[in-house]
Structures are given as C-alpha cells and as structure tokens.
C-alpha cells in the first residue's frame, strides 16, 4: 500500500544536493526568493549606501553612520510596533501620536514642575501607550470594527489629546523641553568604548551560541537539511558585523572634543528586536499571532483563543510604541505640538513593508522593521547630504516603497500554489 508518487525525486534517500556549490546557489536562490525575505532588500540597502557614498564622502564616516542609526531608531521602533498588528492583518494608524503622548507623559512628569523620578515617569509613558493600543484592540475585537477606522479616529483624537497635554502645562508655547537626565540620555548618552565592546561582543556570543546550539540540536536529532557551513557563515557574519559596529561607534565623532561609544538607543533597539523576535518565534503566543494572521478560522478551530492573542498583539504594539515615544522625545530633546504623528505612522508602515512584512497579515518578522527603518533613514540622511530637496526625498522614498512591495509580491507569487 503506497501512495502513487507524483515526484519520484521527492523522497529518494540520497536526495542531498550533489555539491556544496549547488547547495550554495540553492541557498542564495531561496534567500532571494524571500524565504528569509531579506535578500532583495539588503541588496537594495547596499545599493543605496554605495550610491550615497559615491555622491558624498561624508556618508560612510563614523559620525554619520552613528547619526544614521539614531535617525532610524524612530522608524525601527514604530515599525516593530506596527508589525505586531500587521501580522494579524490589522493596522494601527495612531502609533505616531500615541508615541507622542507616551513621550509627553514622560516629559511632563519629569519636568522641574512635577519632578517625578524617571523610574516612575518613563514606565508611565509606556503604560499610557500600552493602554491606548489595548483600547483600540478591545474596540476592534469586541465591537468588530475595522482597525483601520478605529485607529484613524484614534490618530485624530490622540492629536487632540496631545495638544491638550502640551498646552495644559502653563505657558509652554507649544513645546515642552526634556528636563531630566535619564530621558535625555536615552538617545544622546553613549556607552564608554569598553562598554560598547562588551555589549556588542556579549550580543554576538549569545546570538552565535543560539544559532550553533539550535543547529547542533537539529543535527543530533537527524534533521540536518541545511549545510553546516551556513551556520558558521552566519556566525562569521555576526562577528564581522559586531567588530565593524564597535569600531565605528568607538571612533571619535567630534572635532572639538571626544565623542565616542555606542549611543544608548542602539542597545534599546536591539533589546526590543530580540524580545519581539523571541516571542514571535519561540513561544505559543507568537505562533498563534501568525496563525491568526494566516487563517483566523483555522486558528479558532484549532482551539486558539483568538481574541486573547489579538489583544496581546495590540498590547505589545502599544508597549513598543511607548519605547519609540520615549526615544522620540529624547532625540528631539522635547515634545512639541508640531509633531508629525501622521507622517511617522506612514514611515513606520513603510519600514515594515520595505523590510518584507505583509500588509495582509500572517507574514513578517521584527528584523523587517530594522532593515526597513534603516532604508528609510538612509534615504533621508543621504538625500540631505547630497542636498536634494524635500520633494525629491518624498518621491524617492515612495519609489523605494513601491519597489519593495513589487519585489516582495513577485517573489512570493513564484512560491505558492494558490495565489
């Protein structure tokens, strides 16, 4: 009794690819076709970097690269916040102003007028954003409203709340400065060069250990489809990237004084990235969020409490938004009524989508926001360096977004039997 076989080669025991070169090409092809989803966009980012470096020699200076990382932080964090909801096929248009509110709460509470300690004020900013997103979540889930409309209303409403908050602080003139050290240092503080090395190397070692350990476990269990060199190649790349970053951050960026070390914002980004990735890939909650985005009915029939995990995703989105808000006020050294909350949302969604996250749910990774955020920031930073007008900046960003979606869509079409 055996099933008629469609594809004889499919289960031949000696199916291993003949040469390692073939394996390598196969891997490259798979990466390109979007299995990991990052091939095309990393290539695009590299092209942008080369272009800007050719046009402006300042672009790849240590100072500018550090600057670029700081500029990209807001896109990266808001993008990661957006990915939580995008994965379920929802969207949150309010994250820009929500972040503003979280930041404003922290700024106001730590101001000389109120003088709350940072360890209460900053978490309260996070709580504010988390609550906002939880409210959207409840409305979307309980009242079955489309998240697009709920959060569109939310965006408008929160813009109003933010105005009220800022104007409620007496004679603010439409902006409130950061008056507390820790909040200011979130972005502008730097690790010492030694601490930079330690943080980066500890991260590299931990990540490498995770990669090798999981590879080894698979191998022991007899599940060794991927070649061993791939794991070592990943580790090698990590070490090289880590050393490069450490060298860049530890280069003196100031002409008058000594300014070096990794900005605090970067470990914060990495921490959020690691936390989000862990939840999405290693826990049931993450698995269920993907399942809900892929086929909510299937998830329900598998016995998953769909509403609970949707609310969880909204909440995590809000928490990440809060972190973005704190870094936003820190970087601008204050919060003003002129915050472009609406634009930030669009860049956040763009960052997620450029990185490879689907707008229709079920597909995406936290790393997508990092790559996408870096692309968005690179365009902004590079265009400013080569003195392109704002009009050009918008148009190029739009083209990159369109190109990313197109590449993604085309790559995916070849990969699936039913769409």
Chain residues in the site for other proteins (CB under 8 A) = 1-7, 10-11, 217-218, 221-223, 225, 281-284, 287, 290-291, 293-295, 297-299, 301-304, 362-363, 415-419
- Of 159, 145, 147, 99, the closest CA to residue 314 belongs to 147
Nearer to other proteins, 2 or 257 (CB): 2
Integer CA distances (angstroms), 313 to 85, 219, 246, 316, in order: 6, 33, 34, 5
Q: Do the bridges between strand 334-336 and strand 175-177 make them parallel or antiparallel, or are there none, so unpaired?
A: antiparallel
Is the CB of residue 99 less than 8 Å from the CB of residue 328?
yes
Nearer to other proteins, 74 or 86 (CB): 86
The CB-of-233 to other proteins minimum distance in angstroms stands at 20
Nearer to other proteins, 114 or 284 (CB): 284
Burial class (CB in 10 A: 0-12, 13-18, 19+), 230: middle
Nearer to other proteins, 252 or 281 (CB): 281
The CB-of-302 to other proteins minimum distance in angstroms stands at 3
Instruction: Show the tokens assigned to 240.
Output: 């090289």
Is the CB of residue 72 less than 8 Å from the CB of residue 373?
yes
Helix/strand number for the chain, H first, E second:
16, 2
- Of 290, 285, 304, 267, the closest CA to residue 190 belongs to 267
The CB-of-383 to other proteins minimum distance in angstroms stands at 35
Nearer to other proteins, 144 or 301 (CB): 301
Nearer to other proteins, 90 or 180 (CB): 90
The CB-of-242 to other proteins minimum distance in angstroms stands at 25
Nearer to other proteins, 168 or 281 (CB): 281
Integer CA distances (angstroms), 323 to 187, 368, 395, 397, in order: 12, 18, 29, 25
Helical segments of 168-264, H only: 181-188, 193-220, 228-249
Rounded CA separation 120/126 (Å): 10
Q: For residue 122, what are the contacts with CB-CB under 8 A and spacing of at least 6?
A: 106, 110, 182, 183, 326
The CB-of-226 to other proteins minimum distance in angstroms stands at 10
- Of 381, 410, 386, the closest CA to residue 397 belongs to 381
The CB-of-347 to other proteins minimum distance in angstroms stands at 25
The CB-of-416 to other proteins minimum distance in angstroms stands at 4
The CB-of-137 to other proteins minimum distance in angstroms stands at 21
Rounded CA separation 84/309 (Å): 11
The CB-of-139 to other proteins minimum distance in angstroms stands at 26
């Amino acid at each position: 009794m055996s099933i008629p076989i469609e594809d004889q080669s499919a289960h031949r025991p000696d199916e291993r690819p003949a040469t390692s070169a073939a394996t390598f090409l196969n891997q490259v092809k798979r990466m390109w076709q979007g299995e990991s989803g990052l091939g095309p966009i990393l290539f695009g980012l590299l092209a942008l970097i080369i272009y800007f470096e050719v046009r402006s020699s300042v672009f790849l200076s240590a100072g500018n690269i550090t600057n670029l990382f700081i500029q990209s932080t807001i896109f990266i964090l808001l993008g990661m916040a957006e990915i939580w909801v995008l994965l379920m096929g929802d969207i949150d248009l309010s994250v820009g102003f929500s972040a503003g509110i979280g930041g404003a709460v922290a700024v106001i509470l730590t101001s000389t007028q109120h003088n709350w300690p940072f360890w209460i004020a900053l978490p309260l900013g996070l709580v504010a954003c988390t609550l906002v997103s939880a409210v959207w979540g409840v409305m979307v889930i309980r009242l079955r409203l489309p998240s697009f409309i709920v959060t569109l209303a939310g965006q408008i409403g929160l813009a109003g709340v933010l105005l009220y908050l800022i104007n409620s602080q007496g004679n603010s003139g439409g902006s409130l400065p950061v008056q507390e050290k820790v909040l200011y240092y979130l972005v502008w503080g730097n690790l010492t060069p030694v601490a930079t090395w330690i943080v980066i190397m500890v991260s590299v070692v931990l990540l490498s250990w995770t990669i090798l350990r999981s590879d080894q476990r698979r191998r022991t269990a007899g599940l060794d489809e991927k070649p061993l060199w791939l794991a070592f190649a990943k580790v090698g790349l990590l070490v090289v990237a880590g050393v490069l970053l450490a060298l860049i951050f530890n280069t003196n960026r100031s002409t008058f004084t000594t300014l070096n070390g990794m900005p605090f914002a970067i470990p914060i980004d990495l921490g959020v990235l690691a936390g989000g990735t862990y939840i999405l890939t290693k826990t049931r909650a993450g698995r269920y969020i993907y399942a809900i985005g892929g086929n909510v009915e299937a998830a329900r029939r598998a016995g998953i409490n769909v509403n609970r995990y949707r609310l969880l995703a909204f909440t995590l989105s809000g928490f990440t938004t809060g972190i973005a808000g704190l870094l936003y006020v820190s970087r601008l050294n204050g919060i003003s009524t002129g915050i472009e909350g609406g634009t930030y949302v669009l860049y956040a969604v763009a960052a997620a989508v450029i990185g490879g996250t689907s707008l229709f749910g079920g597909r995406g990774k936290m790393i997508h926001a990092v790559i996408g955020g870096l692309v968005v920031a690179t365009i902004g930073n590079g265009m400013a360096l080569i003195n392109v007008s704002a009009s050009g900046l918008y148009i190029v960003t739009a083209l990159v977004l369109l190109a990313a979606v197109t590449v993604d869509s085309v790559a995916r079409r070849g990969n699936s039997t039913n769409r």
